[in-house]
Structures are given as C-alpha cells and as structure tokens.
Structure 1
Amino acid sequence: MRRQTPGKDDILAQPWLQPVRPYLSDDRLWALERQSVARGVAMGLFMGLLMPVAQILFAVAGAAVIRGHVPISAACTLVTNPFTVPPIYYAAYQLGDQLLPASLDFSSFTFEAHNWLADGINWAITHGAPLMTGLLVIAAVSAVLGYLAVHLCWRSKTPRTP
C-alpha cells in the first residue's frame, strides 16, 4: 500500500499547488509524531464536520497553521460523506434547537418572492441558526475527543521502559 500512496514530494510536485508549496513543504507537517497527528486529527474532524464544502482545503490550511499532520487532517474530513451527513445534520439541528433560546424566532424573516431561491433563503434563515450551532458544538467536541484519543492510543502503544 505504501508503494501505491504518493509521498510528500509527489504531492507537492503538482503544478496547481505551486502557490502554497512553501507553506506545505515543512517536514514536520508530514512526520508521524504524536503532537502533529493529534493536531491533524483534531483539525480534520473539526473542518470535516463544520464545513459543508471544501473541507479538505480548509483542513489542510488549518493543519499547516497549527503544525498538524497534513495527510491525516485531509483524511479525517471524510468523517462526513453521503452516508453520515443526514444523521449528523439531523443530530446537529436537534442539538442546536435545544441550545438556542426559545425566544429566538426567525420565522418573521421571510422573502416574498416564491421561487426556489427564496424558498432556500427562507429555509436557511429559519433553520440555519440551530443547524450551525449544533454543527459547531459537534465539531468542537469531536475535535477535542479526537485529539485526546490520539494521545491515549499513542501512549498505550508506546512501550514503557522500567
């Protein structure tokens, strides 16, 4: 499998990565070290759950900023996929609806035009706040749990010296 997987140099040689190559060329972003892997997992889970589009792009950029493992950060965004998005978004909406105060009523904000764009905007206004609140909470909790899980698993796999 390692022979099939492209390495750091192969990935960075892509012409479309020319503008960001200096930011991604640091060897620490590609090394399997406990801290960088934990940061990469946390950033990947956070962006994968919070961002509905361009998750990998934001996760890689975030990993570069916090010195997290870039490939692991990109891979962890795959927590959201066509099979997991519906239950995650449903749970996020329910959680956000419980967390937001009941006095927060968005139903008065409506567009008068009756077409698909206006219907979409009306839906986003009335349901967007609970959904985004829930997604933010789930993303933050998942990132912290992922970070801690890497540290716990790494510690349990490291041989102890007497």
Structure 2
Amino acid sequence: MPKKFMKRYLPTPERVRAIRSLHFLGDILHEPNLWHINRHSVARAFLIGIFFTFIPMPFQMLAAAFFAIWFNANLPLSVILVWISNPVTMPPIFYFNYKIGAVVLDRPLLDFEFQLSWTWLSGRLMDIGIPLYLGSLLVATICGCLAYLVIQYLWRRKVRKDWRERIRDRRLQRITARANIDKPEPPAQDS
C-alpha cells in the first residue's frame, strides 16, 4: 500500500527526464535506483528531505537532490520533502532552530525585530548565526533520523498487516473449499 500510494503522487522518471532544465544531469536521471519505491529508498529520502528542510541555506532542493543521488534515496521524494520549508513556514522553523541553538550554547535569546535587508542580516549574523546553525543542525539531524525510523516502522507494520490478511484470506478459502467438498450434493429431483 505505501508503494502504491507513493507511485500515485510521485512524478515518473520519464516526466522528470523531459524537463529541459535538468538535461545537464545527463545519465544520472536514468539510474533506476533513484526512482525505486521501497522501504529503504523512501526512508532515506525522508531523512535527506527532512534534514535539508531544517537547514537555512539557499538551494536546499539541489542539496537534497545531490544527497539523494549519493545515498541512492528516492530522488523526487527527497526534493519534494524540502518544500516543507517555504516562505510561510521558514520564519517559525528557523526561529525555533535559533532558540534551540541559543539554549544549547547557554546564550540569552536576543529580542530583535526582523527586517528583510542585507544591512540587518550582516549586522545580526554574528549574533544569531552560530545559535541558528547549531540549532538547525541539531533539529535537522533529530527530525531526519526520526523520520527515517518512523518510515521504516510504518512500512514494516503495513507489510506485516498485509501478510496477516493474506494468511487469513487463504485460511478462509481453504475452509470454504473443504466445506463445499464435504457437503453432500442434494439428490436430483425427477420431473
């Protein structure tokens, strides 16, 4: 079931290969392991995608794609998961990461008014940069590993459930077949 569900929503390799802006990757996109949907490739994709979601850096999707290729994770899933951090979710995610980093470094939380400008960023980078990146690495590592373990667990659980259902169905079929064999046929009525 997880495999069928994911196949329904993920793009096909042919569709991605047709994107002209990705032609510079050449034969890398033809590697079948990057498109397989199994417990291991999906769990690795979740680890990579969730990890880069929490890292404040430009080109998160490119980094996720590179690591998906490097670790044979499902490529489209790794890239799609990075979209969790978007312009709406980035401020709360990165503020949370900053707070975690400040607590770990035992630094007081700075009371600052955010402004989207290079002047503000360059002036505050030293104050918030180290706690932000430390917190981001910690949160990214913990959340990525948790995502990996949860996917492994849920996938195994689903496979076990499917096996139990198959065994139950086969038993019912055998019992029904035996009952039909043991049941005597009614005598034919002459008319």
Q: TM-score scaled to structure 2, two decimals?
A: 0.70
Q: Deviation digits for residues 63-118 of structure 1, max 9, x if unmatched?
A: 0100000111011112212332222112111110111255xxxxxxxxxxxxx644
Mean Cα displacement is larger for which, 7-16 or 142-151?
7-16
Q: Does 1:148 align with 2:153?
A: no
Q: Identify unmatched segments of 5+ residues in structure 1.
A: 103-115
Q: Does 1:73 align with 2:94?
A: no
Q: Output the CA distance in 2 between the equivalents of 1:80 and 1:119.
A: 22
Cα distance change of structure 1 residues 79 and 5 upon mapping to structure 2, 3 Å threshold: closer
C-alpha deviation, 1:135, in angstroms: 0.7
Q: Does 1:47 align with 2:48?
A: no
Cα distance change of structure 1 residues 16 and 140 upon mapping to structure 2, 3 Å threshold: same
**Would the aligned equivalents of 1:12 and 1:21 in 2 still touch at CA under 8 Å?**
no
**Would the aligned equivalents of 1:39 and 1:68 in 2 still touch at CA under 8 Å?**
yes
SS at the partner of 1:131? helix
Cα distance change of structure 1 residues 100 and 12 upon mapping to structure 2, 3 Å threshold: same
Identity percentage of aligned residues: 28
Q: Output the CA distance in 2 between the equivalents of 1:141 and 1:118.
A: 33
C-alpha deviation, 1:6, in angstroms: 4.2
Q: Output the CA distance in 2 between the equivalents of 1:4 and 1:122.
A: 43
Higher helix share goes to which structure?
2
Which residue number corresponds to residue 124 of structure 2? 123
**Would the aligned equivalents of 1:50 and 1:136 in 2 still touch at CA under 8 Å?**
yes
C-alpha deviation, 1:52, in angstroms: 3.3
Q: Output the CA distance in 1 between the equivalents of 2:86 and 2:120.
A: 25
Q: Output the CA distance in 2 between the equivalents of 1:94 and 1:138.
A: 11
**Would the aligned equivalents of 1:48 and 1:59 in 2 still touch at CA under 8 Å?**
no
C-alpha deviation, 1:39, in angstroms: 0.5
Q: Output the CA distance in 1 between the equivalents of 2:48 and 2:126.
A: 28
Aligned alpha-carbon RMSD (Å): 2.3
SS at the partner of 2:54? helix
Q: Output the CA distance in 2 between the equivalents of 1:5 and 1:38.
A: 15
Q: TM-score scaled to structure 1, two decimals?
A: 0.81
Larger radius of gyration: 2
Look up the equivalent residue of 1:17 and give its one-letter code. L
Which residue number corresponds to residue 132 of structure 1? 133
Mean Cα displacement is larger for which, 21-30 or 122-131?
21-30
Q: Identify unmatched segments of 5+ residues in structure 2.
A: 108-116, 168-191
